[in-house]
Amino acid sequence: MILHVDMDAFYASVEERDDPSLRGKPVIVGGTPEGRGVVAAANYVVRKYGVHSAMATSKALQLCPKAIVIRPRMDYYAQISSQIREILNRYTPTVEPLSLDEAFLDAAGSEQLFGSVETIGRAIKADIRKELNLVASVGVAPNKFLAKLASDMNKPDGFTVITPESVQTVLDPLPIGRIWGVGKVTNQRFEKLGVHTIGQLRALTLQQLQQEFGQHGEHFWELARGIDHRTVVSDREAKSISHETTFAEDITDIDILRAWLMELTEHVARRLRSHSLQGRTVHLKIRYSNFETYTRSKSLSAATNATNQLWPVALQLLTTALPERPLVVRLIGMGVSNLQPQTATQKTLFVEEDNEKDTRLDQVADQIRNRFGTGSLRRASSVQHNVEHKPEPPQKP
């Protein structure tokens, strides 16, 4: 059984905890309504007005003019996230973080110490409330897809268990949009087929789904049956490290995409360095508005974790390796694979000096962010385009 721990309206809940006068009021944590400010978190009061994360702040204030907008304190949230991670690691070393406020856990090996996985989930939830005065929703299920679904089902302050015997009973009545990968456009295609619920999707044959959705057909067929073969993988065990982000509104500006890609590259490079890992292959993932998805990759001559060495390759993939078509992008992702321990890198005479400069630069940047928070040092392009990344659930490798 897998656990998914998800903090309820994390950023907004932290602000309410620190300022009790905000409780009961509509609270938005995010950028200013001017320019490209977006909602990073919305408490449950303001969500009643239709406000949600990744929405433009200007639109959110149209829906709820009395909403209180608070600028994010990312460094502070990161500190609290570390405290949450410490609680999770008490119960199992197999923790796969998705972002500051959610993670998957495989606690099967800890049952002799702490009891059943359900008991462990309740203990984690209680520890977070007692020690941090924050609320987490927890899902317990046979796999990642079902565990995340479970944690979302009874928010806020939810605790939901999906047993192997109850999988279809739980899934069948749910709307088709609860399947990972079913967005607005795909949902419309299912509606044309007369499919509105997961149960109706399950009634379709694999051949029908493959004919309609190509290689994604098998993905939908498996999830409708609660099948998800992915395991929980900690950073140290991962074969690749990546981040991606989905935009609330499609992006058509190449400069904004460049800024986001730079931000993602920095996140990936920093995670590599934090685990003393390097990688040789850079990957780019782009999903267009019609859900067509392209992945491109390029291998380096030597493994690296230096931001300035990964960035030119990622940018080249963005600007030269994609098909000729209108730039209407829904999702962008960047990753690095072919990982190896940092000490295994073979230095060369001609690039050693540049590598050492990049390493020193990254070390200084990491020290600043570790001491003062992730938002303390940012690229000019990220600030200009209000880029602020929150990772999403990982996809199948």
Catalytic residues: 102
CA pair distance 263, 86, nearest whole angstrom: 26
CB 44 within 8 A of CB 1: no
Residue 102 phi, psi (nearest 5): -155, 155
Other residues' Cβ atoms within 10 Å of the Cβ of residue 28: 28
Tokens coding 319: 């600007």
Alpha carbon distance 39, 32 (integer Å): 9
Helices 184-192 and 206-213, packing angle to 10 deg? 130
Residue 331 sits at the vertex; the CA angle it makes with 329 and 335, to the nearest 5 degrees, is: 125
